Structure 1
């Protein structure tokens, strides 16, 4: 029975206790009570930032009950059914006590537990009184145990009835000080660092890494709140995140070296893992939205809980994807996939709770959820900018890393950092001889380049030159691939595409990264080249750099769907010019592109394939059409896109089908199309 209590993924301060079935025999209940009470005793070795006295007293009383349970089990006594009522109530109550102790000792939840100190004290009182009530109906006279053991039970019964679980005065004072600090932030007053340290020290947050863990926990809570479509506590949770973010950047001078290495290692390992993922698998087959709560049904298929529940409530007993009849309607949480989706969203700075609600997400990331979060971020931005410009080498590295983390979180943070003047000192740090500092500064600039004002300031501060230098000669691959990504965002501005295209070695630097870089580096280089190709004048420069053979190599070797689609996007753009079409045809890649069209599971990749083939027919002449016409299976793929693809994919498929039909009709009539005659006349109305 104890397996029900190992749910590590439950909401904090939510106690989903399982009421034992009435048919469970007393002996089975007793065995489970021994396991459950033993797990509660394990909390004796845990540290509690708050509720220390209440936790200790609760564990002490459960320890006495544990003695009673073990004595009953050791004697192998036959227990009457009348004992089951008391044992069932004790079982339910001890589950909740365990959950409560888990929350009070949970890493990352110390500050949150401090703010809930009154509620927690009340919960301890309620649960201990519930123990007393359960013992009141326990027929001790019918249980054959030593009198000393019965006295223990009586002791617990009396103490649990009289015990006073009150708010610890020191907890109350610490909470008042925290609320006072939040109030100062709201009034645009920077709090005294001594007061901030006292609050952090009280709950045991004494290092950068511990503070960072608290932030991560609260951000998960915010995601939960938003996913429940309630969000009542989001403003207060955001205030706490603002307070802790300020503390992490200002109070903790030393960045945990071990933690930094692990965090950057996580960035790199996550990068490698996510590079192998097809993120389309994150979408529910019913709603086509990212699954917030993936569950598995009896056929083995995974759906979002809300979608499949709606399907089942409609009276449907077939699997929506396979059509198989469901043997039962049980929904088993897909914890592995849920964790993967959450990690992916966290890595990409997306709030899981706001997925699928784009308008709300944009509002929340542009405007903070509370005034405290807003003002604390402004104070922190000014502090970090000063450190970036005038700090020691260690302080600059830490400030660059903090900026990197904050800029990744949301648009408002980027705005604050840019307004505080963080861009110029970050650009100066790109020339640093320290690999960590350069990497952090480049990653921070990448995040800031996503913001309109950030793009403008980077270019106006002559930041293009140092970014291109990092692209070519960066001290780490991570710095180089961040530089490539920054170039992509800068190229979203039309005037900057021209500047970058004309910059010496800019395109060649991207080509070199495509050739030598990591999978993530190659992807960033490919999308940056795509951005530059939006300016027609850059086409010749890209072709001259020898890009096409590298793109074809990526197509031939890449198993990653996103990299494949990005590469095909670049090839389709190049194919729109005669020079580009000639370079693609010279690489003898026509069979490769048609093969991807016929075998790929990605609709996006298929669309780019059709776009490329159509452009090659238009710019390559009748010889290209003749080669495609020989492929007897091509038509089936094109007709498939007419019904399954997007409107644009369907339009281009129809155009290509017309070209191929015209070729077959012309050949069957005995006319020969000269290869000198371009095919654009056959599809001019489709362009």
Structure 2
């Protein structure tokens, strides 16, 4: 009996010993997989969404971050892009199935206020980490910079907008890219928006010192700018933007080194800020960054085009000027044109052509010119009714825009959809009327001839419209006194019109006498004075 009792106790001990480990394994099994947990809230996701940069977050967390203009630093060292959000229904279903199988409570819709508290705590923590890192790394350099460069107080009024260069407003800007008049320098007109003003030789030295004081030894470092732009203090944001705007205006080499994904991510939410000074300086700084060819594709891929379009639609007046200039500058790059058109910039740019601001009108027209070099954008513009809008501007001469509007019309006339729309809108008579007048510049007249030349291709309606508008006499005048390119196109159109007249004049004649005598039809064709025998097999 005693032996059996000991054996019984031993069995009980063996039976009970694994029970703690088994409970632990069950507990571990209930821990949700990492991919089911939001990186921001640390909880199971109720409504998972995929953002532009590829990560998955709780929808409410993304909404709060967008409202606060904050992008948390992820474990891999990157910052997420919240510009586009796509629901991840597959992952949501997977999370619910996992909850049911593991007997875990399903996630509930998170409260906005609690998520906001969490995000604000992350913002404070990120700011403290940035400040600590900045002090540890560059304290000695900053002290040295302060000793060498006395601190200068930044002022929002002391920006390049108060002393814009006048050469972008000269008559040379009327020269078109198509005209390509050699006597006119076209580089500033074709590559830089009117809202940009390069630093002059008489720039205030205190402004240079002010821009360099922020980072005296290495302007390529974006750390200090990012800290200021992400600050919760609006005044700090404004001061950082003013410094960035001045530095990128005066130092071309700084534009490439500062145009990093991190800085663009910090700059993007400030473009749609409700504060005038913040939005204006943010869009102006973006114009400066976009001037460098190496930055153009990078900026478009950072998701900045959509905020720019929002500014162009309903931003502050000066910010709208800069937004139009930035879109023009970005559209100069071939690889950006299709993307900008797809993202919806064409309609706001068309609307901006009627703006009261001269800079906004001109930069919008040039943006449309570069965008309309792509066939897909030409078709979109035609569907948006751009032809009638542009021809109306040519007729009414709104804001002296004829030269730039003609650039866009020449591009539209190069596609079948554009030619059809222009012929329907009586473009032939309008363009001939412009050539008949004497008030247009030489480049505008040349672009009128180029547009008519494009309209004359592949259209049977063109000849009748040209006759009605008495175009031949105008072309003869252009052939005598126009530029070389205009004379060449006018000569080709005259030959084409005269050739068609001769073809129509070659009427088919029937030899009725031979028909009655021989019972067969003998047809003679007259081309000039030559005759061709009936039923001839020679063509």
* Alignment TM-score > 0.5, same fold: yes
CA distance in 2, matches of 1:413, 1:650: 47
| CA distance 1:345–1:529, change in 2 (3 Å) | closer
Q: Is 1:580 equivalent to 2:418 in the alignment?
A: yes
SS, match of residue 403 in structure 1: helix
More helix by share: 1
Question: Where do 1:229-268 residues align within 5 Å?
Answer: 251-252=151-152, 254-256=153-155, 259-260=157-158, 264=161
Distance across 2 between alignment mates of 1:559 and 1:509 = 17
For residues 70-103 of structure 1, the C-alpha deviation after alignment (integer angstroms, 9 at most, x for no partner) is: xxxxxxxxxxxxxxxxxxxxxxxxxxxxxxxxxx
TM-superposition CA deviations, 1:91-131 (whole Å, max 9, x none):
xxxxxxxxxxxxxxxxxxxxxxxxxxxxxxxxxxxxxxxxx
Counterpart for residue 637 of structure 1:
478
Cα offset, 1:591, TM superposition: 3.0
> Is the 1:515–1:550 contact (alpha carbons within 8 Å) kept by the matching residues of 2?
no
**In the superposition, relative to structure 1, how do residues 288 and 579 fare at CA in structure 2: closer, same or farther (>3 Å)?**
closer
Q: Which residue of 2 aligns with 1:8?
A: none
Per the alignment, residue 148 of structure 2 pairs with 196
1:415 aligns to what? Answer: 256
What residue number does 1:349 align with? 198
Instruction: Give SS of 1:576's match.
Output: coil
2:284 is aligned to 443
Q: C-alpha offsets along residues 236-274 of structure 1, whole Å, 9 cap, x if unaligned?
A: xxxxxxxxxxxxxxx33x4335x34x864555xx78x96
The 5 A counterparts of 1:539-578 are 539-558=378-397, 563-578=401-416
Q: Can you give the 5+ residue segments of structure 2 that lack an aligned partner in the other structure?
A: 1-139, 176-181, 186-192, 203-211, 509-539
Look up the match of 1:614.
453
CA contact (8 A) 1:382 1:420 kept: no
Equivalence for 1:140? none
Equivalent pairs counted in the alignment come to: 343
Residue deviations 1:577-597 (CA, integer Å, cap 9, x gap): 222122222222333322333
Check 1:409–1:593 CA distance in 2 against 1; reply closer, same or farther (3 A cut).
farther
1:16-27 matched pairs, under 5 angstroms:
none
Structure 2 counterparts to residues 146-165 of structure 1, below 5 A:
none
Q: Distance in 2 between matches of 1:470 and 1:658?
A: 50
**Can you list the C-alpha shifts for 1:506-533, whole angstroms capped at 9, x where unaligned?**
3222222223452322222222222222
1:428 is displaced (CA, Å) by: 2.0
**Deviations, residues 184-219 of structure 1 (Å, cap 9, x unaligned):** xxxx9666244235xx5xxxxxxxxxxxxxxxxxxx
> How far apart are 1:658 and its partner, in Å?
2.0
What is the 5 A alignment of 1:287-298?
288=183
Larger relative contact order (CA 8 Å, sep ≥ 6): 2
Q: 1:289 to 1:481 in 2, by over 3 A?
A: closer
Per the TM alignment, residue 536 of structure 1 is displaced from its structure 2 partner at its CA by 0.7
Aligned 1:465-476 pairs, distance under 5 A: 465-474=306-315, 476=316
- Extract unaligned runs of 5+ from structure 1: 1-187, 201-250, 291-343, 354-370, 672-687
1:601-649: CA deviation from partner (whole Å, max 9, x where unpaired): 53322222111101112143232342355552331113433xx335xx4
Distance of 1:459 and 1:448 partners within structure 2: 12
Q: Which whole-Å CA distance do the structure 2 matches of 1:418 and 1:524 have between them?
A: 23
Summarize the Cα distance change of 1:617–1:346 in structure 2 as closer, same or farther, 3 Å threshold: closer
TM-score norm. by structure 1 comes to 0.44
Q: Is 1:492 aligned to residue 385 of structure 2?
A: no
